[in-house]
Structure formats: structure tokens, C-alpha cells
Amino acid sequence: MNEPRHTVHFYGHACIYVQTPDVSLVVDPWFTRRGAFLSTWHQFPRNDQLDLEPLRAADYVFLSHEHRDHFDPEFLRTLRPDTKILIPRYTDGYLQRELAGSVRNEVVVLDSHETYSLGPDLAVTPVVQSVPIWDDCTLVIRTPQATIADVNDMKLSARDLAWLRESFDIDYLFMQFSGANWHPYVYDYSPEEKRRISRHKRENKFGAVHKMFAASGARWLVPAAGPPCFLDPEFSALNLDDDSIFPTQAEFHAYAEREGFAERTVILLPGDELVPHVDHAKDNKRRLEHPCFTDRHAYLSDYQRDRAPDIAQALAEIPQAPGPLLGKLREYFQPLVSASAFFRDRIGGRLLVESVGACPESVIVDFTRYQDSVYPHAGEDYFYRLRVEDRLLNLVLDRELSWEELFLSLRFEASREPDRYNEFLVVFLRFADPESYRAYARYERGKQLDERTVVEHEGSRYEIQRYCPHAMADLATAEIKDGCVVCPGHGWAFRLDDGTCATNPARIAVRPLADPSPQAAGPDPR
């Protein structure tokens, strides 16, 4: 007698389709021909050749977060009316509000770390990122045949990872391996500096994924949730850049071969079924011979020609700015700046916003002021500059486009002095909501940063803060390089002499310990 079929199919990017005899689930569908982020990102390999009717009839759709490469309103509007949409409970209600304006299906909010039975043979457990910098979520999917931890874009903290490992015996770890950032491409660096930074970020990303896979205890790693490809001619050079932060599955597999874990890595193409207990190495070899990897230039050229009308139409539909934007900038920014002393203090400088178009303007957003914080630029110094087309800036000011969507579109220019990542400015723009600012400030003030660990360097021992202040990665496993503790999460380097960060405005607690050697302790009393 045949056992009931439980199937898992990959539908490209971060989309997984799980079907059991009793229930079906779709995770993070993204199929629109318009791509995402102002039509800058497109699915790679392409997935528009797939039959989507089974997905439209699914019982449940889970959306991990609001990024448009995971949240596709165009597809969601084609769902069966009784399909339930599941989302995690986040600090803010942005995703829920977006869904309310996009679909009529019932939306069910799931609490983090709680297990929900979707049927007799399918259960899910959302694990919301414990560091509320971004709204991201891992989804653990369990069927009688396999347990999948779909991490997608989430930056797993040491505590999140420990909880997952203790709670589940993971068969397949789906994890983002390719970048999802605008740095360094939009910054005014030289081409050589952009390549250097990109190479460093790429190596860090690969290394972090490898470490996370090893620490998770999962049997298999499935590189997913990227990369995008860039079909607008303005950005198409990024597709073939050997140092790009958007590497392909083939490039990650080559890294896995060098590091010795390729035999535990599974490459999936859109439409592939994830079948347990098969020769994954043999399947990998066949899939890596696909033209999207072996003849990428021709593959992307055909893809670009096919999508050109969709991209042109999407960009043409963006309305022109109504005129000068100073008034709208004041209406947008002043309440936000005034709402949070925490962010004013942490940002502590001036942002220059330059709009480009029919009515070019240069406007200061001054975080050193409680009131009258937004005014025309008259030569004041600033630490950060954003240069944006006025019609795109107008979309942000009307809250039809988020700052993060604009940034991920790469359709802007930036510079900063000093050249350091200011996390508080990014978080301020990303949330753009006073209640979220208060929640984030409470988190920052309540961080459990008192736990310590001991590291050794060049014969000396140091007691250091155990968790990185950025995303709470465990510094007990950090590499020490050039006198710095290098965070295994994102490469932030903290000096052992004073705890300051060499790469970003942050600090950890550091205390040198007395030399425990017999010489340091004095003569033996015996």
C-alpha cells in the first residue's frame, strides 16, 4: 500500500509550496512580471513559466515580511477566496495594513514561537527575529517526511539559532546566501573601492551562512531567497560582476565545494521538487548545467528583452511630483524628528535630502533640533546625503513607497562623512513611525548586554561583552584579527584595547584580565 504523498516544491526565489493529502501551504510567493522595488529586482532564475493554479488554490499562504520579493499583491489577488493568509506578529502593523489595502482574504496573525497545526499532517512555527531592527521571520514547517527551517531573509541571532536547534531536528535549512543591500553601489566610491567592498561583503555573507548551517545542526542546506537579477539596462552590469554581492547559486556551490560542505548543499531551480533520500549531488550537477548558470549572458539578454515592456510601463506609471517638496518634507519629517529624543541623540547630525527633477531642492533634516528641524540647505555641514528623483521622493512622502523599498531599488545616490554605517538613521527611516521608535528604544535600553565571555589574543586574556550590540551575534565564537574581535554575524570589528568599533559607531565592554601564568602570580610558595 502506497504511503500518502507529502510534497515540497520550490517555486523560485523564496517561494515554497507544501502539499499533503489534507492541506496545502504556500510561503512567500513572488511571480509578478514587474519584479520588485520599482522594477529593479527580478526573479532569478525566472519562474514565470510555471503553472500557478495549484498555488492559487492553496489552503494557506504564509508571508514572512513585507518586502515585495516576498509579498506579491498581484499574485495574492488571484487566490481562492477562502485561502487564509498567515503573517507573523510584528512590532508594527505595516504588513497587516498593506494586506488590508491589497486583498480580501482573511488575514491571521501568528505569535512567535507558537506552533500552529494547519492540518493533521502539517504544522508551522513562526520565529520572529528577536532583534527588532527589521521585521523578519523564520518559518519552521513540519510534515511526517521532513522538518524545514525556512530562514529566508532573517538575520538569526545566537539566541534565535539556539532556540531553533533545541526545539527542532532540522532536515532542510533554507537560507538567504546572496546580498540584499544598496551598499556599496549607490555610494560615491571609485569603481575599485566598490569592488573591494563588494568582495568583502560577499565573503562575509558566504562565511556567515556556512557557520549558521554548521551551528543549526541541519542535515541539508538549501541556498535560497536570492539572488535577484537586474533587467533594467541602468543596472544590468550588476548581473555579470564577478565581485557582486548578488552571487548565484552556482557561485555559492563553488564556495561550498572549496569549504567542504557541497555534499550537504541542495541546489533547487524553480519548479523542482525537494525529494528526501535521493542523490542530491547528482541532482546538483544536473541543475548547475542549466543555461542560467552556464550561459548567463544569453539567458539574461533574452529575459531582459521579454521584461522590457513591463519595466517601462511600471516606471511610466509613477506620477510626476506636484512641484517643490519642501512643505511635504516638513510635514513628513518634523513629527518624526520631534517624536524621539532617543533617535535625535543617536543620529546626532544633519541629513541632506536632494531632490532632482523639474524643481530641484536641497533640504536639511536636522537631528540636533527638536523643532524647526527641516529647512532649506544654506551651506550647513551634514553627515549623510541622499539624492533622489523628485517623483520617487514624492512617493515616499505620500507613504506609497517605503524608504527601504526606495533604497533596495538602487534608484538613488548617497554619500556619507565619515564613511560609517549609521544604523540609527537607517532604522529611523525604515520605521517612520513614533510608536515603533518607542518600541525600538525600549529594546535598545533593555538589551541583555551584561553577559560576558573570555577571549585570548597574543597570550593575553580579555573579558568581553558576549553579544554584539548590532544583531546580538555571539562574540564567544568570534575571530580575533588585527587586535579586534570580529563579529561572526556581520563582521563588525571591536578593538580589544578599548571596545570601540573600527567600522561603525558602536562599542562593547572589554576588560583585560590578569595574566594567570605562574610567573605573573609570583614564586611558588612550596
Query: Do 95 and 158 have their domain in common?
Result: yes
Predicted local distance difference test score (pLDDT) of residue 84: 99
Residue 62 lies in a domain: yes
| Mean predicted confidence (pLDDT) in 486-507 | 89
The residue to which cell 524647526 is assigned: 372
Q: Give the end of a domain, one of 254, 285, 310.
A: 310
Evaluate whether residue 19 is within a structural domain. yes
Residues 412 and 485 in one domain: no
Residues pairing with 356 in the sheet: 389
Considering the domain boundaries, does residue 305 fall inside one?
Answer: yes
CATH number at residue 333: 3.30.1050.10
Helix locations, 155-295, DSSP H? 158-167, 191-216, 249-259, 280-287, 291-294
Q: Is the pLDDT of residue 523 over 60?
A: no
Do 464 and 408 share a domain, yes or no?
Answer: no
Would you say residue 124 lies in a domain?
yes
| Domain finish residue from 285, 310, 335 | 310
Q: CA torsion angle for 64, 66, 71, 73 (degrees, to 10)?
A: 140
pLDDT of 444: 80
- Look at residue 522 in the predicted model and tell me its pLDDT: 38
Cβ 88 vs Cβ 110: under 8 Å: yes
Determine the Cα–Cα distance for residues 252 and 256; give it in Å rounded to an integer: 6
Domain that holds residue 468: 452-521
User: What is the domain count for the chain?
Assistant: 3
264 and 355 together in one domain: no
| Claim to verify: residue 296 and residue 397 sit in the same structural domain | no
% of the chain beyond a pLDDT of 90: 85
Q: Is residue 236 part of a domain?
A: yes
Average pLDDT, the chain: 93
pLDDT value, residue 516: 52
* 419 and 364, same domain (yes or no): yes
State phi, psi for 463 to the nearest 5 degrees: -90, 120
**166 and 193 both lie in a single domain:** yes
pLDDT band, residue 521 (cuts 50/70/90): very low
Q: What mean pLDDT is predicted for residues 486-512? A: 89
CA distances from 302 to 247, 274, 280, 287, 297 (A): 20, 28, 30, 20, 9
Question: Does residue 444 fall inside a structural domain?
Answer: no
**Average pLDDT estimate for 44-48:** 98
Average pLDDT over residues 345-360: 97
Residue type, 509: A
pLDDT digits (tens, 9 = 90+) for 172-216: 999 999 999 999 999 999 999 999 999 999 999 999 999 999 999
Q: Does residue 247 share a domain with residue 196?
A: yes
Peptide bond into 45 cis (omega under 30): yes
Least confident of 141-155, 275-289, 399-413, 451-465: 451-465
C-alpha of 429 from chain center: 16
Is the pLDDT score of 507 beyond 70? Answer: yes
pLDDT greater than 70 at residue 133: no
Residues 407-433 have a mean pLDDT of 96
0.85 surpassed by pTM: yes
* Same structural domain, 95 and 228: yes
- Supply the pLDDT for residue 306: 98
| Distances in whole angstroms, Cα of residue 86 to Cα of each of 26, 109, 132, 311 | 10, 6, 20, 30
Instruction: Say yes or no to pLDDT of 518 above 80.
Output: no
Give the burial class of 71: count Cβ atoms within 10 A of its Cβ; 0-12 exposed, 13-18 middle, 19 or more buried: buried
Specify the CATH number for the domain of residue 503: 2.102.10.10
Q: Say what the pLDDT of residue 519 is.
A: 40
Mean pLDDT computed over 488-514: 89
Upper half-sphere CA count for residue 448 (Cβ side, 13 Å):
11
Q: What's the Cα-to-Cα distance from 11 to each of 24, 52, 412, 423, rounded to whole Å? A: 14, 9, 31, 33
- Of the pLDDT bands very low, low, confident and very high (cuts 50, 70, 90), residue 278 is very high
What integer is the mean pLDDT of 276-301? 97
Give the residue-averaged pLDDT of 249-274.
98
Residue 279, pLDDT above cutoff 80: yes
pLDDT category at 3 given cuts 50, 70, 90 is low
The continuous run of DSSP H or E covering 48 comes out as: none
At residue 233, the 3 state secondary structure works out as coil
* Minimum mean pLDDT range among 106-110, 199-203, 256-260, 476-480: 476-480
Q: What is the pLDDT of residue 515?
A: 63
Residue 1 binned pLDDT confidence (cut-offs 50, 70, 90): very low
Query: For residues 180 and 41, what is the distance between their CA atoms, to the nearest angstrom?
Result: 10
- Assigned domain for 492 exists: yes
Each residue of 225-243: pLDDT tens digit?
999 999 999 999 999 999 9
Which of 310, 338, 354 is the last residue in one of the domains?
310
Least confident of 157-161, 185-189, 321-325, 391-395: 157-161
